Amino acid sequence: MPDYNVGILGATGAVGQKFIRLLQDHPWFTIKALGASQRSAGKPYKDAANWIENSVMPDSVSGLTVRDCKSADFADVDFVFSGLDSSVATEIEADFANAGIPVISNAKNYRTDPTVPLLIPEVNPDHIELIHQQKFTSDGSGWIVTNPNCVVVPLVTTLKPLQDAFGIESVILTSMQAISGAGYPGVPSLDIMGNVIPLIGGEEPKIHEEPLKLLGTLKGDKIEHANFPVQATATRVPVINGHMLSVTVGLKQRADAKEAERVMREWKSPIANLNLPTAPPRPIQIHDDERYPQPRLHADSENGMQTAVGRMRNANVLDITYVAMAHNTVRGAAGGAILNAELLVKKGFIK
Amino acid sequence: MPDYNVGILGATGAVGQKFIRLLQDHPWFTIKALGASQRSAGKPYKDAANWIENSVMPDSVSGLTVRDCKSADFADVDFVFSGLDSSVATEIEADFANAGIPVISNAKNYRTDPTVPLLIPEVNPDHIELIHQQKFTSDGSGWIVTNPNCVVVPLVTTLKPLQDAFGIESVILTSMQAISGAGYPGVPSLDIMGNVIPLIGGEEPKIHEEPLKLLGTLKGDKIEHANFPVQATATRVPVINGHMLSVTVGLKQRADAKEAERVMREWKSPIANLNLPTAPPRPIQIHDDERYPQPRLHADSENGMQTAVGRMRNANVLDITYVAMAHNTVRGAAGGAILNAELLVKKGFIK
Amino acid sequence: MPDYNVGILGATGAVGQKFIRLLQDHPWFTIKALGASQRSAGKPYKDAANWIENSVMPDSVSGLTVRDCKSADFADVDFVFSGLDSSVATEIEADFANAGIPVISNAKNYRTDPTVPLLIPEVNPDHIELIHQQKFTSDGSGWIVTNPNCVVVPLVTTLKPLQDAFGIESVILTSMQAISGAGYPGVPSLDIMGNVIPLIGGEEPKIHEEPLKLLGTLKGDKIEHANFPVQATATRVPVINGHMLSVTVGLKQRADAKEAERVMREWKSPIANLNLPTAPPRPIQIHDDERYPQPRLHADSENGMQTAVGRMRNANVLDITYVAMAHNTVRGAAGGAILNAELLVKKGFIK
Amino acid sequence: MPDYNVGILGATGAVGQKFIRLLQDHPWFTIKALGASQRSAGKPYKDAANWIENSVMPDSVSGLTVRDCKSADFADVDFVFSGLDSSVATEIEADFANAGIPVISNAKNYRTDPTVPLLIPEVNPDHIELIHQQKFTSDGSGWIVTNPNCVVVPLVTTLKPLQDAFGIESVILTSMQAISGAGYPGVPSLDIMGNVIPLIGGEEPKIHEEPLKLLGTLKGDKIEHANFPVQATATRVPVINGHMLSVTVGLKQRADAKEAERVMREWKSPIANLNLPTAPPRPIQIHDDERYPQPRLHADSENGMQTAVGRMRNANVLDITYVAMAHNTVRGAAGGAILNAELLVKKGFIK
């Protein structure tokens, strides 16, 4: 059984707390170090963090002294998860990589770097090879891997089988996103209770771009991006966890909803046989009940790692239309990063 | 000043209550008669109705004895508004029309009848002429006019200026609909609190079809329907009032978001000069703040009769994309029907 | 390890579904039979039930054919759990008890019967002996045990240590109750979203009376009820699970908040050493953080079986005041009944 | 008709915005000046404020240049309303009073000052005379009047008739308070959605103390406070506007619920004949329907100025118990202050 000591950067934030909760009983990874801003550094974690998870703070972390996010203070870990805010992630993550400490990051900062894998293990595990292009250390010991935006994860997970079978020509989607995606304190209750906010700042460009890298092809030492337009409208709704997407897709090779559903059902995850602890047995679940999926009922399915699909039907415009939903802070953030780490262990990138 | 006695059919239901509230101080119309099911008939309205409006039940109706929905019992009214359930509307509305009592209906039953106007006064006031094709009575005194589905109203209100200027080629939309649209008791709280339901039974076909009649052209004695595909996904969200639409439109004559916004701003309502009491001064309001419109903040604008538009921008797929929102039980139901009645008075159809 | 086949009466309702979910992996009890109304009887459970739990319906029940709630159809079970509606529970539960099938019921119907234990294992396990007074069968094989109202459970769980140490003189409480307490479809969303309803029909009398039986003393063959006034106001709030109580208590022997908190902390559950699978390790959890407990964060603590206490302080009127909270459909309903069954097995009442 | 120019201090905050909205069409008062923090000063109001009211920002203020909150900048107003944060109100309000500009404040800072009236016009209009004790200016032109905490308003409004008729012995209450009471951004949605928070920091001491001053007696130049214990538990619930109180009262002279309800119904407001524009015709409304009042249905009654009462009944502990509800940011804040100003005009304190 692999056995690694890990650090968490941004440990007091919403994503950091989710890392702690998900790693609580992890069979391979043990939380050794927690890093946060200077304001928190030096305090016991239980005093530094305003714990917002709906479970008790694990005893294993409550007494840990929070560290400054400096690589020199993390010599005792094998790698770090980063839940850092994008305002500081660029420099801190580079510091760790430069020091030979691998960074598995949920931050957006390096997602578009052509040498940094933007990784969903079930979708593009081969992109992991980009790591060899990174120059943080001469011996390759320090590197960065990122996971995508939380809307992009269920979107691309469902597009992948379609792309393989028919090719994607265009995508239009409207997202209805949960409040947990905005972190804490995040969205004021006066803004969102009984309401819909039709804008999530900075979200739509990521939805337009990240799928093209994720569905791109590794050619030699770089990714040749996929090439199709994505049009997204990102809205906020009064839901705790689980981003819902209403997706309409144009296909290169015409196909109807029945065929699309069949390829999704028959699709095989390329990591299905690796026995990664966090990998969901069924990365895609297709619901037959037209009222499903629903975020409150299904966001936690398969420990929050499953993408749920429903209402697959022929579209009057473009080809097919469906809804997709996944847990935004598990599958779309901390859980996705942990699965990335597991793949990186299995593939020998983490020693 | 016109002065009419009106009846309300389905008066105890959610739409019926909205009719009562909106007509409370109406300058032309006085509520004379309330009709409901046999279970309620004979009781004082205050005992028959489970009042759900957030205002006190008007004294003018609380003591009225509820009548059975039979035309014979409504001889003392000039016309009726119908908020009847679709399970009974076909027969009851025909009974009234046959008896020479005009019916201005919010029910869906006669919307697709080629002789029945499906009417938004700002969009297709000329369709009113279809009334002359109706055969309910030999003297033309009895007829039915309908208003569209509550999603269709803001959709078509915003499509109309685009169609006039550029022509519509295709429409894709996702609606996020308020719970009040399901009536009372309607959506169980266990289903919708902190949740999104990706299906509203029977809603999408109406959104696909009604716009084509509304944007059709009166040719002789019938409507030549418009001809473009509409693809809708109708979802329910935890909002009290106000349906939000995320709309993407393909135009026949290419135009960008700036031009689309300009034609919406410059568009003139054909009924602007008729001084109809319920007509909103600005049927379309374009919000500059990207966070707007929001149902909780803007559903009540201009007494709930305004369609709010925001986030107009160029689309990566099709041509332009925007959000639109209107009060579903006012503009999209009872208020729309009352405006229809006002137009019908002004045009001489109601004597 | 004990091994019993169990039936569930009222299996399609909200409480019935909770029984199914909680029994899914139970080490002692296997669901063998599901009973519901005649409308459902004969159908596979997956077609008869509108599944509302936020987990997938277990495969072990989805294919079971729903039975009519008649004792003759349940000959293959050792006992039944009842989640029946109170409108039918009186007769059906008697039918089962008469047939020698023990009934462990969540319905209110027999709670006030002087021969029927109203049971919280941590509070009054000795009341179980009342079973011997029941006359359903001549050999004592058929009997009924009930669990209390969902507000009464956290109330009495926190009053018990106070009563033992100081005696209770009077209790005033306001409850803020979750919507799941009303079953399904239950509370209409239009009634409760963004709202408080200051009445829950029929609730307050139970809160006034049940604590007196629970905290009563078994004297010979009957319970001598405790004797103090309880004044409750039961309100509904927009919370999914977890009833919150604001409680103020007058004590017979003066004590301050510090002493009250100490006796709650030092209180020992009388069933602590019985190793009942569903018994929470800590039946009472006292939170130091003044913002806690909160239903959304803490209702699921210790699998939903823990009563959480917070804000213990001296009162300006009466003696002490605090808040208490527990999961209403687990600790306060199905989970409580299952724990009752476990105690009854351990004590030899279920053979 | 009186005609005054007024300023608003703290104009960009939630209370300041409510002042603006409520004064929009006020017959006596015209908004002349808006004051806010230095960060906002110098900007047009429409750029300085993040408008959160669910109505369009009035044209009359959107172009006003925000001023620094210094008395020297407000020479053109007759008096000011203060919606200042308590962290700055002490000094700023004194600066205005010292400069001879009356301050009608919603801030808590001067509420306990023995020379400052804590005023609810319907309850203690005679306390206004305390103004003469204030020493801000030698000619008495500058002074401060305050309105109470938003829970205290409906509490004391309902206690007043009881005190007059029977005397109050003790009060226990639990409040369920709306999120708008916390201002903006206020309560994070992740904290309150589908939840109850059993603590509102700093709230309970105000509820314990302010009623005693309000129900006190003006004796010579000071208030002799009332003398009874109040025990409050203040909780936050997911409601937009309207604080709900569950109140139990011990009376000095025994009386039952019927008598209590009678004295509330027969109680006459001492300002009923003054024709103050903001005074509600019925300051107390007693609901017969046991399900009422509800914040979402009734907070706006009589323009948000009415206190609604329901569920009056005999209590098993103490004497009577009932629920009371009022709009926290109208009756309990800005609207209350405006009514105070109207009384002060009528009584000649504002020249």
For residue A318, what pLDDT is reported?
98
Do residue B56 and residue D296 have CB atoms under 8 angstroms apart?
no
Of B233, B229, B315, whose CA–CA distance to A317 is shortest?
B229
Please give the Cα distance from A148 to A132 (Å, whole number).
20
Note whether residue D206 is domain-resident: yes
- What percent of chain C stands above pLDDT 70? 100
Do B51 and B123 share a domain, yes or no?
yes
Sign of the torsion angle spanned by Cα atoms B233, B107, B21, C194: negative
pLDDT of C56 higher than 90: no
Instruction: Please tell me which of the candidates A171, A295, A321 has its beta carbon nearest to residue B195.
Output: A295
Q: Could you tell me whether strands A79-82 and A4-9 are parallel, antiparallel, or unpaired per DSSP bridges?
A: parallel
Note whether residue D205 is domain-resident: yes
Q: Are B5 and B32 in contact (CB under 8 A)?
A: yes
Q: Could you tell me whether strands C243-251 and C320-326 are parallel, antiparallel, or unpaired per DSSP bridges?
A: antiparallel
Nearest chain A residue (CA) to B209: A316
Give chain B's residues under pLDDT 70. none
Q: Which chain A residues touch C297 with a CB distance below 8 Å?
A: 52, 54
Q: Are B109 and B89 in contact (CB under 8 A)?
A: yes
Write the pLDDT tens digit of every residue in A14-69.
999 999 999 999 999 999 999 999 999 999 999 999 998 888 899 999 999 999 99
Nearest chain C residue (CA) to B14: C190
Of B90, B80, B92, B107, whose CA–CA distance to B183 is shortest?
B107
Cβ contacts of residue B125 below 8 Å, gap of 6+?
A: B119, B270, B271, B343, B347
Best residue in A54, A287, A302 to probe C by mutation, most C CBs within 10 Å? Answer: A54
Q: Hey, what are B278's tokens?
A: 């319920």
Cβ contacts of residue B73 below 8 Å, gap of 6+?
A: B33, B35, B67
Helix, strand, coil distribution of chain B in percent, nearest 5: 30, 25, 45
Residues of chain D in Cβ contact (below 8 Å) with chain C: 170-172, 174, 176, 193-199, 208, 229-231, 233, 235, 237-240, 244, 246, 248, 250, 290-297, 310-311, 315-318, 321, 323
Q: Hey, what are C244's tokens?
A: 């919150």
What CATH number does residue D186 fall under?
A: 3.30.360.10
Best residue in B52, B177, B189, B195 to probe C by mutation, most C CBs within 10 Å? Answer: B189
Note whether residue D351 is domain-resident: no
Do D226 and D107 share a domain, yes or no?
no
Do D119 and D186 share a domain, yes or no?
no
Do B312 and B174 share a domain, yes or no?
yes
Note whether residue B56 is domain-resident: yes
Catalytic residue numbers of C?
150, 243
Is D150 designated active site?
A: yes
Do residue B187 and residue C192 have CB atoms under 8 angstroms apart?
no
Do D180 and D319 share a domain, yes or no?
yes
Q: Are A311 and B164 in contact (CB under 8 A)?
A: no
Instruction: Please tell me which of the candidates C52, C194, C300 has its beta carbon nearest to residue A54.
Output: C300
Do C176 and C122 share a domain, yes or no?
no
Which chains contact B through at least 3 pairs of Cβ atoms less than 8 Å apart?
A, C, D
Q: Which chain A residues touch D185 with a CB distance below 8 Å?
A: 185, 188, 190-191
For residue B104, what pLDDT is reported?
98
Relative orientation angle of helices B152-165 and B203-214, to the nearest 10 degrees:
40
In which domain, by residue range, is C292 found?
Answer: 152-327
Do residue D54 and residue B297 have CB atoms under 8 angstroms apart?
yes
Which chains contact A through at least 3 pairs of Cβ atoms less than 8 Å apart?
B, C, D
Write down the catalytic residue from A26, A69, A225, A243.
Answer: A243
Q: Which chain A residues touch B239 with a CB distance below 8 Å?
A: 194-196, 238
**Burial classification of residue D38, based on how many CB atoms lie within 10 Å of its CB (0-12 exposed, 13-18 middle, 19 or more buried):** exposed
CA distance B238 to chain C (A): 8
Do A201 and A177 share a domain, yes or no?
yes
Do residue D188 and residue A191 have CB atoms under 8 angstroms apart?
no
Best residue in A56, A192, A300, A306 to probe C by mutation, most C CBs within 10 Å? Answer: A56
pLDDT of C27 higher than 90: yes
Q: Which chain C residues touch A298 with a CB distance below 8 Å?
A: 54
Note whether residue B285 is domain-resident: yes
For residue D330, what pLDDT is reported?
98
DSSP D197: B
Do B217 and B315 share a domain, yes or no?
yes
- Helix extents (H) in D241-347: 257-266, 295-298, 301-304, 335-346
Please give the Cα distance from D340 to C219 (Å, whole number).
63
Write down the catalytic residue from D127, D150, D287, D298.
Answer: D150
Do A138 and A215 share a domain, yes or no?
no
Mean pLDDT of chain C: 97
Per-residue pLDDT of chain A (351 residues), as tens digits, is 899 999 999 999 999 999 999 999 999 999 999 999 999 999 999 999 999 888 889 999 999 999 999 999 999 999 999 999 999 999 999 999 999 999 999 999 999 999 999 999 999 999 999 999 999 999 999 999 999 999 999 999 999 999 999 999 999 999 999 999 999 999 999 999 999 999 999 999 999 999 999 999 999 999 999 999 999 999 999 999 999 999 999 999 999 999 999 999 999 999 999 999 999 999 999 999 999 999 999 999 999 999 999 999 999 999 999 999 999 999 999 999 999 999 999 999 998
Write the pLDDT tens digit of every residue in D156-211.
999 999 999 999 999 999 999 999 999 999 999 999 999 999 999 999 999 999 99
Note whether residue A172 is domain-resident: yes
Write down the catalytic residue from B127, B243, B298, B327.
Answer: B243
For residue B351, what pLDDT is reported?
85
Write the pLDDT tens digit of every residue in D8-59.
999 999 999 999 999 999 999 999 999 999 999 999 999 999 998 888 899 9
Do residue D297 and residue B194 have CB atoms under 8 angstroms apart?
no
What CATH number does residue D117 fall under?
A: 3.40.50.720
Do D121 and D159 share a domain, yes or no?
no
The amino acid sitting at C178 is A
CA distance D166 to chain C (A): 18
Domains: count for chain C: 2
For residue A13, what pLDDT is reported?
94
Please give the Cα distance from A232 to D284 (Å, whole number).
51
Note whether residue A351 is domain-resident: no
Write the pLDDT tens digit of every residue in B270-279.
999 999 999 9
CA distance D52 to chain A (A): 8
Do A108 and A77 share a domain, yes or no?
yes
Which long-range contacts does D22-25 make (Cβ < 8 Å, 24+ apart)? Answer: D22/D278, D22/D330, D22/D334, D22/D335, D22/D338, D23/D338, D24/D58, D24/D60
Do residue D184 and residue A188 have CB atoms under 8 angstroms apart?
yes
Do C106 and C133 share a domain, yes or no?
yes
For residue B207, what pLDDT is reported?
98
For residue C351, what pLDDT is reported?
85
CA distance C241 to chain B (A): 10
Q: Which pTM was predicted?
A: 0.97
Note whether residue B351 is domain-resident: no
Q: Which chain A residues touch C300 with a CB distance below 8 Å?
A: 54-55
Q: Could you tell me whether strands B103-105 and B144-146 are parallel, antiparallel, or unpaired per DSSP bridges?
A: parallel
